[in-house]
Structure 1
Amino acid sequence: MNDILEPGMIVRHPGQPDWGLGQVQSKIGSKITVNFEQAGKVVFDGREVTLQPVFDV
């Protein structure tokens, strides 16, 4: 699912709902940087975490 992510897309972290919505800042290979409302900037390894795109914002 992370394959469709692009900068600017809105996502949620399935294991951290309290982080709120996040905006994808960059995606380079499997490294995804997201800026969340409540957690700030977080960098993920997309092979370990599957972020959920949000289309109805």
Structure 2
Amino acid sequence: MTEATAIVVQIAFIGGLVLIACELYAIWLICIASERQFNRRLAKLRARHVDWREWRKR
């Protein structure tokens, strides 16, 4: 019984690590997407010669 318990604990531990890795990857993807979106907006504002600090205050 103790051997089976140890196997179950190991599987649960590995599953938890995989879940944490997936969550960190998702957060990383969201950060990159928002940064790209901000850079795209910044490029549009520069094309229109708008000061981005003024735009950010709105």
TM-score range for the pair, normalised by the shorter chain length? under 0.3
Larger Rg over CA atoms: 2
Structure having the larger proportion of residues in helix? 2
**Could you tell me the TM-score, scaled by structure 1's length?**
0.15
Structure having the larger proportion of residues in strand? 1
